[in-house]
Amino acid sequence: SQQGEEDPQALSIQEGENATMNCSYKTSINNLQWYRQNSGRGLVHLILIRSNEREKHSGRLRVTLDTSKKSSSLLITASRAADTASYFCATVEGQGAQKLVFGQGTRLTINP
């Protein structure tokens, strides 16, 4: 079963613009993680934000978490063609849980 729902399902922007993807989830979480997947490849871990954190940065990535709304957003600033990929949020549900539950993903296309 899918926990998170990403929005939008697909996003196409021009190189240099910012890209924002959103994720909503249903149950209480321990942490939320974002992953990138290039076509035909495995997933690459981008960033992890814990339930007691509200915002986190890593290079051109900015992640926010609103546990009251059960939502998270991933912002990629100054996008590059190499950022073209699918982006997935994944949640770890509750204390002691181990498995990641993934959403359906957002397909991001950066046009040169």
CA 97-51-33 angle, to 5 degrees, is 70
Q: Shortest approach of other proteins to residue 35 CB, angstroms?
A: 8
Q: Which of 21, 79, 103, 108 binds other proteins (CB under 8 A)?
A: 103
Give the CA-trace dihedral at 86, 103, 43, 91, to 10 degrees: 140
> Residue 88, interface with other proteins (CB under 8 A)?
yes
For other proteins, which is the closer residue by CB, 83 or 93? 93
Strand pairing report for 106-111 and 10-14: parallel
Query: Smallest distance from the beta carbon of 6 to other proteins, in angstroms?
Result: 8
CA distance 105 to 87: 5
Q: What residues line the site for other proteins (CB under 8 A)?
A: 1-2, 4, 30-31, 33, 35, 41-45, 48, 88, 92, 97-105
